[in-house]
Amino acid sequence: MSDETTQQKRSGWKQNPEAVQANILRVAHAVFAAQGLSGARVAEIAERTETSKRMIYYYFGDKEGLYLRTLEEAYREVRERERALDLGGLAPLEALRRLIGFTFDHHRSNPDFIRLVMIENVHGARYLERSEAIGKVNEDAIRTLADIVARGRADGTFRPDTDPLVLHWQISAQSFFNVSNRHTFTRSFGDALVTDAGQDRVRRAVVRSILAGVVSDPQALDQAEAAQAACRST
């Protein structure tokens, strides 16, 4: 890129600070996911955004501040996509099926998000603990599940002891493992489950295993799956 083009780009950014920050956060997301907090260099992030370290420090304070904002943005994006599913208008069983499938697909398509969460676990979640924003956006995930569960209990679809927090743990755990342990699992057991066909098998198994644990009538689940299979074949 020519000096003139770079200067024009930077000049435009002066008029749009939100775009500057969004660009920095996108690059920081990739760098932190690849190199961790300790390994990441603000100079590299600045170079890849074609901005300056000074501007990064101006917006985010320091490297830890940038890392925290990157975490916040990563979680915010997931919850924003969940809200876009508009699950409130669906029957409880279908709403839960959609949410499980979305989480599995999101994590599979966003391995950098999984790496960021793994890195934050290495740090004992101490940066996440500092963030009021992450706590608020993650409350949305439980509220969404609580609404689905409440409706499912009320109409008899779900067992009375269905727990939204446990459900969230189960959905997250299986979807997370599929990405976080992909390399070690493949090295140990082969790559059959990481092909597109294999991932489709895993996805269906994850969805069914979670739904089977909460439905009050297993036959209703079988009937719903049979109907979905019929739709896929037509």
Render pLDDT for 58-92 as a digit per residue (tens, 0 to 9): 999 999 999 999 999 999 999 999 999 989 999 99
- CATH topology (fold) of 3-61: Arc Repressor Mutant, subunit A (1.10.10)
More confident of the two residues 229 and 129: 129
pLDDT in tens, 151-195: 999 999 999 999 999 999 999 999 999 999 999 999 999 999 999
Q: Where in the chain is the domain with CATH 1.10.357.10?
A: 71-233
Q: Indicate if the pLDDT at residue 2 is higher than 50.
A: no
| Contact yes or no for 87/99 (Cβ under 8 A) | yes
pLDDT in tens, 37-52: 999 999 999 999 878 8
- In the DSSP assignment, the letter for residue 89 is G
| Contact yes or no for 210/171 (Cβ under 8 A) | yes
- Amino acid letter, residue 50: E
Distance, CA of 141 to CA of 188 (rounded, Å): 34
Q: What is the pLDDT of residue 16?
A: 81
The CATH class, in words, for 71-233 is: mainly alpha
Distance, CA of 2 to CA of 136 (rounded, Å): 43
pLDDT in tens, 18-42: 888 999 999 999 999 999 999 999 9
Q: What is the pLDDT of residue 229?
A: 62
Transcribe 114-164 into DSSP letters.
Answer: HHHHHHHHHTTTHHHHH-HHHHHHHHHHHHHHHHHHHHHHHTTSB-TT--H
Q: What is the pLDDT of residue 14?
A: 57
Q: Indicate if the pLDDT at residue 205 is higher than 90.
A: yes
| Contact yes or no for 4/45 (Cβ under 8 A) | no
Q: What is the pLDDT of residue 17?
A: 84
Q: What's the mean pLDDT when you consider all of the chain?
A: 90
Tell me the CB-side half-sphere exposure of residue 175, using CA atoms within 13 A. 24
Q: Which of 83, 73, 81, 80 is nearest to 33 (CA)?
A: 73
- Where on the phi/psi map is residue 136: left (φ > 0), alpha (ψ -120 to 50), or beta? alpha
Q: What is the pLDDT of residue 226?
A: 65
Q: Where in the chain is the domain with CATH 1.10.10.60?
A: 3-61
Dihedral sign for Cα 188, 189, 194, 195, please.
positive
Distance, CA of 191 to CA of 114 (rounded, Å): 20
Full-model pTM: 0.87
Q: What is the pLDDT of residue 1?
A: 44
Q: Which of 8, 203, 230 is nearest to 103 (CA)?
A: 203
| Contact yes or no for 80/106 (Cβ under 8 A) | no
Q: What is the pLDDT of residue 22?
A: 92
pLDDT band at residue 136 using 50, 70 and 90 as cut-offs:
confident
